[in-house]
Structure 1
Amino acid sequence: MRSTGFLALISCVLSAFALVVGIGVTSADEALDTSKLPRVSGTKDIFASPSSTIFTAPGAVTEAAEGTIAALTAAGWQPYAPAFGEPMKSPTMAIANLKKGATGLSVFITVAPAQNNATSVTYTGVIIANDLPFPKDATDIKFDGDRPFLSCVSAGNLAATSDFLRTELIARGWSPWSVKDNAKSAYADEKTEKGLYAYYVRDTGKPLILVLQSADDGKTTVKIEAVPPEVLHPAEKKEAAKAPEPPPAPAAKPQDKVGDAIDDLAASIIKQAQQSVADAMSGAKPAAPDNADKVSDEPTEALTVLDGNTAPIPVPSTAADVDFDGASGKLEFNSSSSIKQLAAFYRSQMKTLGWKEEKSVINQANMVVLGFHKGEQDVSLTLMKMGEAVNVSASGSALEKPEATADASASSNVAGAPGNEPDKELEAEDAGGLPVPKEHSLSGSEQSMFRHGANANVPAKLSSVLAFYRRELGKRDWKEDASKSVIKDDAAEIHYVTAEGPAVLKLGRASGETTIALTVREDEKAKKSGMLAKPGQTKLLLGNFLETEAVITIAGKTIKVPAGAGSKGPDGPTLDVAPGKYPYILKGAGGAQPDDPIEVGADEIWGLMIGPGGVLPVQMY
Structure 2
Amino acid sequence: MTPRMSRYAAAVFAIVGMAMLLPAPSGWADEALDTSKLPRISGGKEIYASPLSTIFTAPSSVADTAAETLKVLSADGWQQYGRVSASEQANPDMVLASLKKGAQGLSVFINAAPAQNNATSVTYSGVPLEHDLPFPKNATEIKFDADRPHLKCTTPDTVEATSDFFRTELIARGWSPWSKEDSAKAAYADKKTEKGLFSYYVQDNQKPLILTLQKSDDGKTAVNLESIPPQILFAAKEAPEDKPEPTPQPSAPTAHDKLGDAMDALALDIMEQAKKATKDALAGVTAPQPPADARAAQASQPQSKLTALAGNSAPIPVPSTADGLDFDGSAGRLDYNSSSSVAEVVAFYRAEMPALGWSERKTVINQPNMVALEFHKGEQEVSLTIMKMGTSVNVTGAGSALQKEEAVAPDASASETSSGNDTTQALEADEAGGLPVPKPHSLSGSEKSLFRYSANASVPAKLASVLEFYRAELGKRGWTEDTSKAVIKPDEVVLYYTMPEGPAVLRLGRASGETTAQLSIRQTEAAKKSGLMPKPGQTKILFGNILETPATLVIAGKTIKIPGGAGSKAPDGPTLELAPGKHAYSLKGSKAPMANDTVEVAADEIWGLMVGPGGVLPVQMY
With the length of structure 2 as denominator, give the TM-score of the two structures. 0.41
The higher relative CO (CA closer than 8 Å, separation ≥ 6) is in 1
Q: TM-score, normalised by structure 1?
A: 0.41
